[in-house]
Amino acid sequence: MKSPISPPSSSVRRKTKAKTRIITSPRRETCGTSDPNATDWIIQVNESLEGMSSDEQQYWKKWSIYKVPSYVADLNPKAYQPQVVSFGPYHHGKEHLRPMEDHKRRVLFQFLRRSGKLLQHYIESLRKVAGDLEASYDALDPKWKEGSVDGAADQFLELMITDGYFMLQILRYATGKVKGEYEDNDPIFSKHGDLYVHPVIRRDMLLLENQLPMLVLDWLVAICYGVQKDESINSLILNFCSRSVDSVSKEKCLHVLDVFRKNMLKEPEKKDKAESQVSEEIIRSATELREHGIYLKKSDTNSLKNISFDSGVLRLPGIVVDEDTESMFLNLIAFERFHVGAGSEVTSYIFFMDDVIDKGQDVALLHTRGIIDNAMESDEAAAKLFNSLAMGVVLDPDSSLHDVINKVREYCRKRRHKWRANFIHTYFRNPWVILSLIAGVLLFGLTMVQTVYTVLGYNK
């Protein structure tokens, strides 16, 4: 496909030359050239602009699944690449992912056999939304698009059905809804698969480049089970992908990663938005905050938005840090970075935690407070993980965390809080110091009493 500003081909020139015969000479003089080819090119550009509709100018609004640019992916290429399974067209056909393709086809064959219908029947049913599915991908290879080559549209829809049904079966298996459909020694849908394969699939399912439009899952649920409820699909996704699910949002989501993200950001109550001044400095690390008299405490929910500071207590949501944490957060940050309107709450959380965590001792302190459950090889490794996640991220000027940062900084400026904290850390760190302090106070009191009695006896 040629760009509208590229030099026109000979066939295009013949078309435009027929039009130039009705162009008067004054218009050519206005163009500032007597070259007919240049005039034809200008006319072609004008016609292209006139024919461009508002929908074509804003087609990117339908994007929700993005190809991570090299300048981002090169920082940590493995974080954005699936390890065992591909969902969608971006990584389809890669050599190391082909073994799972056999399992996808096996699952699809069982579905078709139970339904008694051919695959073409479902392709024709899904064809009506093919354009919307294609438009969800910002960098879809032309070979998948309708009209590029014969059968390209069918190949794309077949991919959507195959990957979508396999994903749906994985999600349903996690809730025990596919018992009896597979053998006990099935490599995927069995205890063995649940132990060794599903954790990697879960990780791959949360990659930005490895998403399927939610429209596919909606359609499959409606076709296979006769219901179409967003909250039921969201529940399946969260049951498989999330460690803690207090409630399931009924909000319309774009794909699995979006469902997971919204669950991480849910909050129990809405707070009034108050104008907050953008902080000019970062806050201190966890150990430094403790030295300034700030007590770190786990929030009552695990929502990443549930960060607050009041009366010297900084509350942070609990989080499990393991080998999959880096990939998960990098893809959530990438989604917020490339999807307009997604928000920046996860990015803001990482920015804030990068300030709170500087070294391994900060992780150790947060662990003792129940805020971080560290499954990494060391506290230093967990600290480096958060520091690496924050590379290149910025805090949204409208983030509510600015208010928290300002309150913490104001509290740290007051010296009495630091003096009190030093007194407590110095004299109340262990029971022996406490006993020594008590003994010293008692001794001082007895000395004062003895002095008073001595003075009174002397006067008498």
Q: Is residue 181 part of a domain?
A: yes
Other Cβ atoms within 10 Å of 366 Cβ, number: 27
pLDDT computed for residue 99 by the predictor: 94
Statement to judge: residues 241 and 111 lie in one domain: yes
Statement to judge: residues 77 and 107 lie in one domain: yes
Q: Is residue 438 part of a domain?
A: no
Q: Is residue 175 part of a domain?
A: yes
Which of 84-93, 111-120, 160-169, 218-227 shows the lowest per-residue confidence on average (mean pLDDT)?
218-227
Statement to judge: residues 42 and 74 lie in one domain: no
Statement to judge: residues 189 and 227 lie in one domain: yes
pLDDT computed for residue 31 by the predictor: 45
Whether 86 has a pLDDT exceeding 90, the answer reads yes
CA distance linking residue 158 with residue 164, whole number of Å: 10
Statement to judge: residues 241 and 291 lie in one domain: no
pLDDT computed for residue 318 by the predictor: 94
Statement to judge: residues 31 and 77 lie in one domain: no
pLDDT computed for residue 458 by the predictor: 66
Using DSSP, state whether 432 is helix, strand or coil: helix
pTM attached to this predicted model: 0.73
Using DSSP, state whether 423 is helix, strand or coil: helix
Nearest in space to 126 (alpha carbons), one of 92, 168, 161, 152: 161
Statement to judge: residues 345 and 381 lie in one domain: yes
CA distance linking residue 409 with residue 118, whole number of Å: 65
Other Cβ atoms within 10 Å of 143 Cβ, number: 11
As a whole number, mean pLDDT of residues 309-323 equals: 93
Statement to judge: residues 294 and 245 lie in one domain: no
DSSP assignment letter at 87: -
Tens-place pLDDT, residues 58-84: 567 789 999 999 999 999 999 999 999
Q: How many separate domains does the chain show?
A: 3
Q: Is residue 422 part of a domain?
A: no
Statement to judge: residues 131 and 201 lie in one domain: yes
Q: Is residue 330 part of a domain?
A: yes
Q: Is residue 155 part of a domain?
A: yes
Whether the CB-CB separation of 189 and 182 falls below 8 Å is answered with yes
Nearest in space to 216 (alpha carbons), one of 87, 66, 58: 87
Tens-place pLDDT, residues 436-454: 656 677 777 778 777 777 7
* Domain that residue 31 falls in: 10-52
As a whole number, mean pLDDT of residues 342-358 equals: 93
Which of 13-17, 133-137, 289-293 shows the lowest per-residue confidence on average (mean pLDDT)?
13-17
CA distance linking residue 152 with residue 158, whole number of Å: 10
- Alpha helices (H) along 304-378: 325-338, 345-356, 360-368
Statement to judge: residues 237 and 297 lie in one domain: no
Would you put residue 263 in left (φ > 0), alpha (ψ -120 to 50) or beta? alpha
Using DSSP, state whether 164 is helix, strand or coil: helix
The DSSP annotation for 192-248 comes to HHHHHTHHHHHHHHT-GGG---HHHHHHHHHHHHS---HHHHHHHHHHHH-S--S--
Other Cβ atoms within 10 Å of 434 Cβ, number: 12
Q: Is residue 374 part of a domain?
A: yes
Statement to judge: residues 260 and 293 lie in one domain: no
Statement to judge: residues 84 and 25 lie in one domain: no
pLDDT computed for residue 442 by the predictor: 77
pLDDT computed for residue 62 by the predictor: 85
Q: Is residue 449 part of a domain?
A: no
pLDDT computed for residue 9 by the predictor: 42
